[in-house]
Structure 1
Amino acid sequence: MQNVLVTGLNGRLAPYLKQALDKQGIAVHGFNRQELDITNRAQQLGYVRGNHIDAIFHLATGPEEWLACLAGIAGEQNIPMLFTSTESVFNPESTGPFTPEHPADAVNDYGLYKISCEQAALAANPNTIIARLGWQMFDNFEQDNLLTHVRDMHAEKGYLAASTEWLPAVAFVEHSMQCLVTLAKQAKPGIYHVGGNEQGLSFYQLVQMINQKYQLNWDIRPGSDPQRDGRIIDSRVACGSIAEQLAI
């Protein structure tokens, strides 16, 4: 890969993907949605051809039709197409760990939207790479990520009740983004799970490790709700361990 298109560069995750691509000397191009009409296929095809795009990473939130359009263009141009989906495609009442073979059975609006996106991408281009992500942890307390979420939970009550019976789908964002680059380079179509909690840390254990690593002096109390193994696992994807990232 030399020139890639990344959608969602003004969002939360794509800037970290850009950093991973920059480190490998890969030029990153982004859509300016003020200048480029995402409903105009001819414009998008012209952009891909004009910038010699040789891979597309779709991280932006948008209509399924836009995703299908980009996937179709990637198929026609014979270049890798990677779409980031989510572990939310699984019903929160189901229990894992979830492999890519587990049926997507979401019941909430967001999960159903992501299922619809996956289906639209694969219908437009069966060679699409779908990478399902879990909860992401950044290395700072900015934006929306694992650290800001638990910080806000603690601030709300002055303590944090954390379940010892919940094994969340979570990974360090830089590990996840490197996995996306690797998947696109391999260009093998299919659904992949990018998870960093194969060790099986509970939410309580994760919060304790965050408390120690960042010296927060939080009041953390063990709880039992929810009771669920929500991890996403995939033996084909080597994602870094969240436990190692949080180790002191």
Structure 2
Amino acid sequence: MQRVLVSGLNGRLAPYLKQALEAHAIEVIGFDRQQLDITQRSQQLAFIKTQQIDTIFHLATGPESWLATLASIAHELDIPLLFTSSESVFNPESTGPFSPEHPADAVNDYGRYKIACEQAALEANPNTIIARLGWQMFDNFERDNLLTHVRDMHDNQGYLEASTQWLPAVAYVEHSMQCLIDLAKQAKAGIYHVGGNEQGLSFYQLVQLINQKYQLNWDIRPGSQPQRDGRIIDSRVPCKSIDEQLKT
């Protein structure tokens, strides 16, 4: 892997992937939707050939048809394509921990969209690598991530009631991005789960660690809702633990 195409560089996660790739001396080419028409397969194929792309990472939000197009191009050129999906493919009324073999049973629009994307990619290219991600924690309080979410929850009501009965699917973004790189290098088709909470931190324990690490002096109160194990697990993907990150 020397020269890769990454979609979604104006989003939340792709810039972290770009940084991780460049740390491995891998050149990153962005997908410029102002210059490339996502409905024109021939245009995208020519661009990927001209740029000598050897791997595609699709992190952008867009229609399933765009993902299917990129997947079919990757299949034609015999290069890996990795698509980032989400733990939202599982019904929030279901309980885990969720392995890749668990049926995708989402009932909300976003979860169904991600399921449709996975299906479109696999139909266009059975060699697609699908990496399902959970809630991501950045190392700052910028953009939309775990830290900003819990901060806003606390600030909105002056305290934070956190469930001791909820085990969330959560990981540190830099750990997740390294897992994506490793999966792309292996180039083994399939659905994978990139999780960082295999040790089973509850949401209450998680925000307590955040409070301690960033010295926030929050008012955190134990709660009992929701009651759910929402973790995603996969023994094939050795992602570092969120617990380890928060304690350093």
| Fold shared, TM-score > 0.5 on shorter chain | yes
**Residues matched between the structures, number:** 248
Mapping of residues 2-151 of structure 1, within 5 Å: 2-151=2-151
Matched residue of 1:107: which SS? coil
Q: Distance in 1 between matches of 2:35 and 2:184?
A: 27
Q: Distance in 1 between matches of 2:61 and 2:161?
A: 32
Matched residue of 1:215: which SS? coil
Matched residue of 1:238: which SS? coil
Report whether the alignment pairs 1:196 with 2:189: no
TM-score by structure 1 length? 1.00
Matched residue of 1:204: which SS? helix
Displaced runs of 4 or more, over 2 A: none
Corresponding letter in the other structure for 1:157:
Q
The superposition leaves residues 71-109 of structure 1 with CA deviations (integer Å, 9 ceiling, x where unpaired) of 000000000000000000000000000000000000000
Matched residue of 1:61: which SS? coil
The superposition leaves residues 47-92 of structure 1 with CA deviations (integer Å, 9 ceiling, x where unpaired) of 1000000000000000000000000000000000000000000000
Q: Distance in 1 between matches of 2:169 and 2:225?
A: 16
Q: Distance in 1 between matches of 2:222 and 2:104?
A: 31
Matched residue of 1:208: which SS? helix
Matched residue of 1:171: which SS? strand
Shift of 1:35: 1.1
Shift of 1:148: 0.1
Q: Distance in 1 between matches of 2:215 and 2:61?
A: 35
Q: CA RMSD in A?
A: 0.4
Q: Distance in 2 between matches of 1:231 and 1:77?
A: 35
Shift of 1:31: 1.3
Q: Distance in 1 between matches of 2:88 and 2:232?
A: 10
Aligned to 2:244: 244
Corresponding letter in the other structure for 1:63:
P
Matched residue of 1:177: which SS? helix
Aligned to 1:159: 159
Q: Distance in 1 between matches of 2:244 and 2:176?
A: 14
Shift of 1:6: 0.2
Shift of 1:204: 0.1
Q: Percent identity?
A: 80
Shift of 1:146: 0.3
TM-score by structure 2 length? 1.00
Shift of 1:184: 0.2
Shift of 1:32: 1.2
Corresponding letter in the other structure for 2:82:
L
Matched residue of 2:83: which SS? strand
- The gaps in structure 1 that reach 5 residues or longer are none
Matched residue of 1:222: which SS? strand
The superposition leaves residues 100-139 of structure 1 with CA deviations (integer Å, 9 ceiling, x where unpaired) of 0000000000000000000000000000000000000000
- The gaps in structure 2 that reach 5 residues or longer are none
